Structure 1
């Protein structure tokens, strides 16, 4: 068991890594080193570096609902988080069509969330100002959760990194992990591609979607699959953005489509919660194929392109909500890479048989909203205080009994021939 004077090395300065460092430092740990592959922090192509992320408590699992409400309470403290969090409300669509959504609604209500439910298009229409054209069907159902909204992801991560720097963390940018150092089968540090070696009493791997490609020798089983999620943006004029500025986040659980109101740069972002795309790389010789992120860092602007079919799907779903926006060109796209687990539960805990190695990853596209608090779970795991039920829930070697079918069965291979061009960004 480590103590507060132990040397702890955290690989990855994204959501999991930075929050873990923060909570360990707040608990009095004195020797925290955090290393990241990117020269610039937060990393430009990391999942936690983006325009925005949804902040919602609408989960069917009461644990995540409770934790999200803790995170929302933290986000609201502007003395800590400035204006990172925007409480626009989250419009959740699909009640009555899914047990997940109905249970999420029940959890929100039971935990005291401020909500308004609706069963038809007219009552939904009343949520929006009359000058906004919307196109919800007569069968629309759902609820507006006022206790939620979105966070400026890049700003939040940057702020967390500044917090851990102020608390005394040793931050090493531009350090790509090459291999784990072992002694008598126990991890004792890490070697980086530039030859640097950092020894530690405990190494915590928080490298997100790069995890399996950095350490292909480890047995990840079916966990930590790197998938690229398709994102598209529309750039509005200030006047156009003001029309939609006060709209809620829209989250359609029936289709997986979600979108945000305009950010301060007048950009509207939309995406799909689906299986995404894999990019298996032949250079990795391991027990099973390894999917590797394809980003702006590895492939330049080509790393931002999403497949044409998904671009078309995004526009179709946008047209079904905001028809006028659907007639505008997309200003850009991005493949946002996640580390997915089949059950969408995170991986937090020791690697089997190695007291010197822990993992804090497997965000599955829903970790960022917990940035202020997620590191507390990892800190509990480090100190042996993690609730036994959570230790089992997040165990590296757990059996994933409940597969999320929206992701695990709908993953597609990424094909360069299908990637969009500039012409595909125009309305059709």
Structure 2
């Protein structure tokens, strides 16, 4: 690793101020690096990382799920335990009211430990949940996983004030199966507030942030006469020298770092948001202390992959779907097709609707599991495409760019990285410094290619041949936002 020779006075430039970029900046500062600059084209000081205020990165969101349940992947289970300790400490800092970030009060929490229910429409637990229970027991954490069909676990949930989370969809009352596992370590991370908190902490430690559509937007690397990267150029024409450049650009990374071809691709998940009126009894019904975060048929392909949350402090309920992930292949300057994020805020062409397939899945679920929404006249308020970067094996990519040890990539969140915001950067900086490189996750996050004959977890780079490429997809209309309607394919 070229980064082992870094001095604390060396210039480090991070491109991207989402979860990877913020956390890396924070941990560089905590470790004594004094010349760290973060560039981002999003004007986060104005938007506050709020999607509804124009911020369209994946990290700019209402909320994210936190969980320790990871099936057979015990390395992420262990990482979750460490992250939750940090989230809990951040809550304590906010409650103490010392040097609060803009827009936060002592009543705010960035982590709400209200449980995460992983459930199915089948009559027995899925293999993922079975593996989770086995591995959590092996780690001495078996009491954190409560099976909904187990009377003893239901009694335990009641004693611990989590009874609401064992059957939040009121399946038993309707004589419907209720099969799942409650991860009591899990819950909700309030994403926009967490980003503002991390940003504030990093700034107080001396990190410089440049948020601007041109001055903060990456244009190209800056090379010396030997072809070595010695910094970056922005779209405003400015040059920023750097001994290390960290490309942490979320869904925009695969376009800016074409070397990721075959390893990573940006894909869009679908999200709906429903506004619960202040005077509705559903505000209390779906409040965070009465309704958990949840994941439905997590690994069941196109007919599953839904996840959701309680209402936020503005009465908005978010539900997401990644059982089908979409791509936007666009011809690049080198003649190759790469998926490029496009949102309702993209300059020029925009996307303000969802694929009809996604809306069908949402409405099928809501009709079966939350019929009270339509019964009370609640419709979909807003939709979004949320762009993540997927790797072929669902592991992150944190490593130097091959052939350029002054450039590092921190990406490939695959929709499950934000929960680690407080500690992602600790690992990134460890890898930058060459610390304990034999750890399992460090090896899994290294630059890699798909072994010959091995089936990928995520199928990437299908271009316009993919049935989920935008040109092959039909889209919803505004009328489809009413829960009583059903889009036709």
TM-score w.r.t. structure 2 length? 0.80
Q: Distance in 2 between matches of 1:129 and 1:88?
A: 8
164, 167, 182: which one aligns with 1:128: 164
SS at match of 1:171: strand
Cα distance change on mapping 1:13 and 1:370 into 2, 3 Å: same
What is the CA distance between 1:104 and its match in structure 2? 2.1
What is the CA distance between 1:146 and its match in structure 2? 1.3
The count of residues paired between Structure 1 and Structure 2 equals: 425
Q: Distance in 2 between matches of 1:366 and 1:403?
A: 17
Does 2:312 correspond to 1:263?
yes
What is the CA distance between 1:353 and its match in structure 2? 1.6
SS at match of 2:323: coil
Map of 1:3 onto structure 2: 7
What is the CA distance between 1:139 and its match in structure 2? 4.4
Map of 1:66 onto structure 2: 78
Q: Distance in 2 between matches of 1:193 and 1:187?
A: 17
Higher mean alpha-carbon deviation, 303-312 vs 134-143, is at 134-143
Cα distance change on mapping 1:310 and 1:4 into 2, 3 Å: same
Bigger Rg, structure 1 or 2 = 2
Map of 2:184 onto structure 1: 146
Map of 2:131 onto structure 1: 103
Is the CA contact 2:115–2:165 (under 8 Å) kept in the aligned structure 1? no
Does 2:240 correspond to 1:208?
no
Does 2:271 correspond to 1:231?
yes
Is the CA contact 1:352–1:397 (under 8 Å) kept in the aligned structure 2? no
Map of 1:289 onto structure 2: 337
Cα distance change on mapping 1:89 and 1:365 into 2, 3 Å: same
What is the CA distance between 1:302 and its match in structure 2? 4.6
SS at match of 1:314: helix
Cα distance change on mapping 1:386 and 1:129 into 2, 3 Å: closer
What is the CA distance between 1:211 and its match in structure 2? 1.1
Cα distance change on mapping 1:343 and 1:408 into 2, 3 Å: farther
Q: Deviations over 1:116-169 (max 9, x none)?
A: 113389x98984399976347754422111111011111111111111110001
379, 382, 387: which one aligns with 2:432: 382
Q: Distance in 2 between matches of 1:274 and 1:286?
A: 31
443, 467, 487: which one aligns with 1:392: 443
Map of 1:79 onto structure 2: 92
Q: Deviations over 1:196-228 (max 9, x none)?
A: 11010000000011112234xx32122221111
What is the CA distance between 1:294 and its match in structure 2? 0.7
Higher mean alpha-carbon deviation, 196-205 vs 231-240, is at 231-240
Q: Deviations over 1:343-396 (max 9, x none)?
A: 110000101121101001111111000000111110101111043233321112
SS at match of 1:273: strand
Q: Distance in 2 between matches of 1:411 and 1:87?
A: 38
Is the CA contact 1:236–1:267 (under 8 Å) kept in the aligned structure 2? yes
SS at match of 1:296: coil
34, 41, 44: which one aligns with 2:38: 34
Cα distance change on mapping 1:291 and 1:406 into 2, 3 Å: closer
Q: Structure 2, unaligned stretches of length 5 or more?
A: 50-54, 95-107
Cα distance change on mapping 1:182 and 1:274 into 2, 3 Å: farther
What is the CA distance between 1:322 and its match in structure 2? 1.7
Is the CA contact 2:65–2:187 (under 8 Å) kept in the aligned structure 1? yes
Q: Structure 1, unaligned stretches of length 5 or more?
A: none
355, 358, 361: which one aligns with 1:313: 361
Higher mean alpha-carbon deviation, 37-46 vs 248-257, is at 37-46
Cα distance change on mapping 1:69 and 1:171 into 2, 3 Å: same
Q: Deviations over 1:178-204 (max 9, x none)?
A: 111223242111111110110100000
Cα distance change on mapping 1:93 and 1:277 into 2, 3 Å: same
Does 2:147 correspond to 1:117?
yes
SS at match of 2:338: coil
SS at match of 2:230: strand
What is the CA distance between 1:398 and its match in structure 2? 4.1
Is the CA contact 1:87–1:147 (under 8 Å) kept in the aligned structure 2? yes
Q: Distance in 2 between matches of 1:148 and 1:129?
A: 11
